[in-house]
Structure 1
Amino acid sequence: MADTGTGLVLGYDGVHPFSRVQLTGRASVQELLRTVLDPLEPFFSPLKARVRCPGATAVRFDQTASEVEGICRPLWGLACLLAGGGEYRGTQWWVDGIRAGTDPDSSEYWGYPRDNDQRMVEMCPLGYALAVAPVIWQSLSPSERVNVENWLGNSINEKKFAPPYISVAVCFMPNTNWLWFRVFANLGLKKNGGKFSQDRLDADIEHLNTFYRGGGWSNDGPEGIHQMDYYSSSFAIHFLQLLYAKLAGEDEPARAAEFKRRAQACALDLVHYYDKEGRSIPFGRSVGYRFAMVSFWGALAYAGVELPAPLTWGMVKGIVLRHFRWWQTQHDMWSPSGTLTVGYSYPNMYMAENYNSPGSPYWACLAFICLAVPETHPFWTSKEENHWDVIPKIKALEQPGHIMSNLGGHCMLLSSGQACSYPMKGTHSKYGSFAYSSAYAYSVPPGLFTLEQYALASQLGLSDDGGEYWKTRRLSESRLETAPDGSGPVLVSLWAPFPDVKIKTYLVPPTAAAPNWHLRVHHIAAGREVMTADGAFAISNQRAGDGRYLDLYDAAKAEGTRPKLIGNYDLSTPEAWATGAQGAFAVSKGAVGIRALERDLLAGGGGERTATLVNADPNSNLVESRTTIPTLQHTIRRGRAVWYVSAIYAKPSGDGVPRQSYLDGWDSPPAIPAWLADDMARTAPSKGGISSRL
């Protein structure tokens, strides 16, 4: 690592200053933020109104808006630092930038927002910064304040929001969490005595309340959309509700109390998304915002929420600091100049949304809301504690439609029914996968040809053209049920990858007796011949010693695959295949695997399933750039119906987990629950047909 005087340069084996900070308390987190902000210095425009982060990638909006993202999104961190009494040497850069960016006569004017304009999103951090960092407004002349009022307030308040599914061409403002951004544009002006619209602010909040579904959860959109990801909690809705409760609570105590009540209820669900290693479960879109996944927890402290039992402030502090520490181990997420990249653990355009510009990842700065929390708050004064021993090991979350598991060394959610309401790259991976793990992130397709490119981690794919193109679950009807024997929750979904191929899927969570296994059971009625591929989790395909691809499993090294991992496009080598009952596994950073339990229930469907390792195309997984996926394959003949019972194994590596123990549970898969075996027996294989009701 070298410092040229014009910015950070990371060379071979360079370690970002972010990873060198020893996180202990508030002052260390302040320093952590500074290591995020410092590398931006060389990329400010001459008048400081724009930041052009490295990376010349285009997005769905214009280049100026991309550079407005570059200056406004880091404001989340800077504003929280200043609100908590901290200091930053570059504060004046942002003051000057806001002055020039809102001046219509400036060469660096940000531009008046058009319909569906990204500029409206960036008004949110600016509005919050104005509300909590008086230095900004106080540094502006009367005419400059009018410029801010015109750009921040007048421009967005004239926009109407569109009903769902309306054509983008006539949409003025998305009917989603975006409405919160206008609330904060108005709130920032209101806090400084500027011109704002109370009517618009109130109307937006009342409409946003129609997104509330109960149990603390809000949907990211109106009725008819089922999308409850991190936007419902840390990225937008809960986070901004709590900030609003803090800033407007004295004037609106009833509204603030309701937002806090929702947060209390949701906290008991959201705590299941974070594991003992500091990782959160990647799920849904925009996970490239990285450590923003924990902003909800700092916002609880900021808003003065009383924690629901059994949570303590020591546990909340532990969630936040452990999360930061995990990200400190992800050295590849930085550009050579020290800025955040588009991606997750490494630069990755395959998983990016079409709105992810080079400045987009700085929404991660929401996580620094904890810096606005006074140093006397128990969030800072408490000793770090763990939460995983006091929360339920298995819990059904009604509103997002998840079953959460805190067994087997990782946090995992089983999911059915969610879907993004508009076209999105890899949407079937981000919402339609069966399982999502804090230890084994989801994979997205880097191409659309053969299994290697589809990277079907935790998905069932079906092909009717001999294996070139594959379809997976995207839209489904789903319901949470209690198993008939009362043993626990079960997720059931109905879906149809082709009009004449109907599938009913049961997802059964781990048990205390088999903590590293979950069951995925499919009843498939095929109106056409289809090949199937049922994938386990993706795991690192690298040997520990030299980084080369995994060999056949070596028990002495506790590393490798079984059967043998063969290179792409080689589908006929006998050593690469095993029976479905034998299954396939891979061992590197822990172990993952899959095996078939259906025994003779495939009669007439085309023979027994087989097991193999799919050498997924590089950069398909969010965390590991080279992965393999244990997979069961089969062909169902036209007009036939089959039952698949897939047992999926996962035992992550971690502190205190010996390598030799990674496969300890592999030879003891769970039995098919009796209630499910009875259901399977009632629906004979090969007769076709599937119930259309849940």
Structure 2
Amino acid sequence: MSTSKEIKGLLLGHSTPHPFSQVALSDRGSVQTLLQTLLDPLEPYFSPLKARIKCPGATAVRFDQTASEVEGICRPLWGLACLLAGGGEYRGTQWWIDGIRAGTNPESEEYWGWPRDNDQRMVEMCPLGFALAVAPQIWEGLTGKERENVESWLGNSVNEKTMPNTNWLWFRVFANLGLKKNGGKFSQERLDADIEHLDTFYRGDGWSNDGPEGIHQMDYYSSSFAIHFLQLLYANLAGEDEPERAAEFKKRAQIAALDLAHYYDEEGRSIPFGRSVGYRFAMVSFWGALAYANVDLPAPLTWGMVKGIVLRHLRWWQTQHDMWSPAGTLTIGYSYPNMYMAENYNSPGSPYWACLAFICLAVPETHPFWTSKEENHWAVLPPQKPLPHPGHIMSNLGGHCFLLSSGQACSYPMKGTHAKYGAFAYSSSYAYSVPPGLFTLEQYALASQLGLSDDGGEYWKTRRLSKSQLVHRGSLPVLESLWSPFPDVHIKTYLIPPVESHPNWHLRVHQIHAQGREVQTADGSFAVCNERSIDGRYLDLYGTVTPYEGTSPKLIGNYDLATPEAWAAGPEGAFAVSKGAVGIKALEEKDAGRTATLVNADPNSNLVESRTLIPTLQGTIKKGDKVWYVTGIYAKPKGPKEEFLDGWDKTPEIPAWLKDEIAKDS
């Protein structure tokens, strides 16, 4: 492990790998070392009294700077507390004890400040409460007066404040639980009331919503970021006092595990979906929490499979070398620093919520999570599964793990919310894209979205709010959604998953009634890397420079819409091949004359690839017309390059039930 002096001088240069990427992951000890590579670079950024960490980056958030720096010190506590709970050691443990002492002292110049209603400080009370509950050396390191300060800041102040009606209520539960575990002053009444209210978010079959009735938001907050994760931690810590509640939380996790396993592919990647994906490897936290709570796994899952999900996930993140600042700290972004995809609550310290992933370090080394040999869960899972509660159809056909989605939306229109929740498909191989600007298709970056414009293509409206249902057509699950991008333009969308005979294709069907205005349409496939393998320059026409690589039709560039060679007929389609192949075709013969092209998306719009293009079908619908679009989306991310397009000319048949519905509507 690096010394303090070496860490203070750590700067990641052109060829300097981050220590995080150098750890060979195999056992508990290697994951402990991995955590230390995250904590070590924070040392130079502690304040003099250690109460705050100001991570590199001067970006502002919707809350005050002090709260941002409280995030900086509290969020890494998730990892440190898990390490200590499992009997591990860290050379900087005293920094956090000193920081808690100063931060909760009203007379300290580094006092964190009393929380107000809906204050971000309440979020950071959760890792602090958990740390107090599992790492006794923290409480024991404080004097009587200092413990009273912690009681006042962590318990008394928050129990009378208003909190958002979301997963935040769990944070107050853990603030009280941390005090309760140490004999401090807490409110059992508030703790019970919060959990009882949180139970109203439960929708059945293991799934909880992140909010009350009227909100449909079941992203990673429902599993790894908050609800399931914290239910399992609570079951472990309070199970002796509340066996029935603990048993219920474990039961929900057992049921949900068979659904949630579909979000992680064989290479360790999870499917990016929803908000806060800048928390990166926190997306795998649910699985370590299962072991921490001693949940009996549902068949056919094994602890070897759970271990494999966790370790492969961490290994994939070890390959993402651009996610670090030059100082070695995590940046705001996903695979690289990216403010376009950030939420307004993402401070420079915010990404350290990723430390939830280290709950596995609190699991004893004798647990089968650690003693089992890694296994592949996809050896036993069905390749497709409909999930009615989140409104997803999961698929692992055609070489990639992805989901079709309808109906979800954040409770408020956050930045990029239509891309984070309203897109039609989300893939572990082809991450979603967000708009870096609000003019033209290049800026909107409509990956897996249908955009409509009534002003000649400057502004585009996409699906954000919709009414949806999961239906079955024969043995095939289908998602149906109703949405209106304009008050007088109404759309019914069907999402149809792949079938075994055409594993690389899924279908996207739109019935569009342009009742009150003429609209242009743009239907985008997945986004794919726009770099030649030989030198990183933009892709050329397929096969002209690099064998088995390039685009069809020719990629011209931004805004040059009149160039004939940049367009193809809709049934001919458009594709691009680089890191896998993606493409799009119009399959309905009565389609309204759509044409195919490639949108050279603005840089940094995609979560994983900083340069992408999006094969797209474009058309125009006259005012008053009703049309059907049947779109085939092609994706093949694996295999030899010469086979990436093997399925491109084997387009699927339009299902008979759909043909009948189109015919009846003609």
Report the TM-score range of the alignment, normalised by the length of the smaller protein.
over 0.9
Secondary structure in 2 aligned to 1:334? coil
Match of 1:687 in 2: none
Shift of 1:91: 0.3
Which residue of 2 is the match for residue 166 of structure 1?
Answer: none
Deviations 1:432-485 (A, max 9, x none): 0000000000000000000000000000000000000000000000000001xx
Task: Give the distance between the partners of 1:94 and 1:560, measured in 2 at CA.
Answer: 52
Answer whether contact 1:7 1:39 (CA < 8 A) is retained: no
Q: Name the counterpart of 1:692.
A: none
Are residues 1:516 and 2:504 paired? yes
Match of 2:34 among 32, 35, 40: 32
Does structure 1 retain, via aligned residues, the 8 Å contact 2:7–2:40? Answer: no
Shift of 1:398: 1.1
Please name the residue that 2:569 is paired with. Answer: 579
AA aligned to 2:531 is Q
Contact 1:218 1:232 in 2 (8 A): yes
What letter matches 2:628 in structure 1?
W
> For the residues of structure 2 that align with 1:25 and 1:372, how far apart are their CA atoms?
13
Contact 2:8 2:41 in 1 (8 A): no
Deviations 1:46-100 (A, max 9, x none): 0000000000000000000000000000000000000000000000000000000
Structure 1 residues 63-102: aligned runs within 5 Å: 63-102=65-104
Indicate the residue corresponding to 2:160 in structure 1. Answer: 158
In the other structure, the counterpart of 1:629 is 614
2:168 is matched with which residue?
Answer: 178
Runs of 4+ in 1 over 2 A off after TM superposition: 1-5
Return the alpha-carbon distance in structure 2 between the equivalents of residues 598 and 432 of structure 1. Answer: 24
The correspondence of residues 637-652 of structure 1 with structure 2, limited to 5 A, is 637-652=622-637
Give the distance between the partners of 1:474 and 1:548, measured in 2 at CA.
34
Secondary structure at the residue paired with 2:231?
A: helix
Question: What CA deviation, in whole Å up to 9, does each residue of 1:343-381 have, x standing for no partner?
Answer: 000000000000000000000000000000000000000
CA distance in 2, matches of 1:470, 1:63: 35
Describe how 1:226-375 pairs up with structure 2 within 5 A. 226-375=216-365
Equivalent in the alignment of 2:518:
529
What's the counterpart of residue 539 of structure 2?
550
Aligned-partner Cα distance in 1 for 2:372–2:461: 50
Q: Give the Å deviation of 1:508.
A: 0.2
Runs (5+) with no aligned partner, structure 2:
none
| 1:153 aligned counterpart, secondary structure | helix
Q: Which amino acid aligns with 2:608?
A: V
Aligned partners of 2:347 and 2:9: how far apart in 1?
21
Equivalent residues, number: 662
Matches within 5 A, 1:586-597: 586-597=576-587
Alignment match of 2:476 (pick from 485, 488, 492): 488
The aligned amino acid for 2:636 is K
Q: Shift of the alpha carbon at 1:6?
A: 1.8
**Range 74-83 or range 659-668, more displaced:** 659-668
1:215 aligns with 2:217: no
Task: Name 1:675's counterpart in structure 2.
Answer: 657
> Match of 1:15, as an amino acid?
P
Residue type matched to 2:194 in 1? D
- Equivalent residue in structure 2 for 1:198, among 188, 210, 222: 188
State the partner residue of 2:406. 416
CA distance in 2, matches of 1:378, 1:6: 38
Q: Distance in 2 between matches of 1:453 and 1:7?
A: 39
2:608 matches 1:609: no
TM-aligned CA deviation for residue 5 of structure 1 = 5.5
Instruction: Confirm or deny: 8 A CA contact 2:279 2:354 kept in the other structure.
Output: yes
In structure 2, relative to structure 1, the CA distance for the partners of 1:4 and 1:369 (3 Å cut) is closer
Q: 1:519 to 1:5 in 2, by over 3 A?
A: closer
Q: Per the alignment, in what secondary structure is the counterpart of residue 8 of structure 1?
A: coil
Q: 1:400 aligned to 382, 390, 393, which one?
A: 390
Residue 521 of structure 1 aligns to which amino acid in structure 2? Answer: V
Classify the secondary structure of the residue corresponding to 1:430.
helix
Q: Distance in 1 between matches of 2:555 and 2:632?
A: 20
Distance 1:24 1:228 in 2: 32
Query: d(CA) in 2 for partners of 1:326 and 1:545?
Result: 23
Counterpart position of 1:53: 55
Partner of 1:391: 381
Other structure's SS at 1:9 match: coil
Contact 1:482/1:490, CA 8 A, preserved across alignment: yes
CA–CA distance in 2 between the matches of 1:252 and 1:33?
Answer: 32
Counterpart contact for 2:129–2:174, Cα < 8 Å = yes
Retained in 2: the 8 A contact 1:23–1:325?
A: yes
**What secondary structure does 2:259 align onto?**
helix
How much does 1:4 deviate? 5.4
Q: Letter of the 2:269 partner, please give it.
A: R
Equivalent in 456, 460, 469 of residue 466 of structure 1: 456
Matched, 1:505 2:493: yes
Give 1:112's aligned residue. 114
Deviation for aligned residue 1:7: 3.9
Contact 1:7/1:42 (8 A) holds in 2:
no
Unmatched tracts of structure 1, length 5 or more: 160-171, 685-694
Contact 1:7–1:41 (CA<8 Å) still a contact in 2? no
1:174-216 CA-to-partner distances (Å, cap 9, x unmatched) read: 0100000000000000000000000000000000000000010
Cα distance in 2 for residues equivalent to 1:348 and 1:496 = 30
Confirm whether residue 658 of structure 1 aligns to residue 630 of structure 2. Answer: no
Q: What amino acid is the match of 2:485?
A: P
- Find the aligned partners of 1:99 and 1:4 in 2 and give their Cα distance: 27
* 1:23-65 deviation digits (Å, cap 9, x = unpaired): 0110000000000000000000000000000000000000000
Tell me how far apart the structure 2 counterparts of residues 99 and 340 of structure 1 sit (CA, whole Å). 26
| Contact residue 513 and residue 626 of structure 2 kept, 8 A | yes
Instruction: Give deviations 1:529-585, integer Å, cap 9, x for gaps.
Output: 000000000000001110000000017621100000111010011110000000000
Q: Deviations over 1:121-159 (max 9, x none)?
A: 000000000000000000000000000000000011011
Q: CA RMSD in A?
A: 1.1
Q: What secondary structure is seen at the aligned counterpart in 2 of 1:157?
A: coil
Partner residue in 1 for 2:371: 381
Distance 1:85 1:558 in 2: 52
Aligned-partner residue type, residue 325 of structure 1 = R
Equivalent residue letter for 1:678: D
Measured in 2, the distance between the counterparts of 1:144 and 1:381 equals 41
> How many Å apart are 1:393 and its aligned residue?
1.0
AA of the residue aligned to 2:484:
A
Distance in 1 of aligned mates of 2:375 and 2:432 = 28
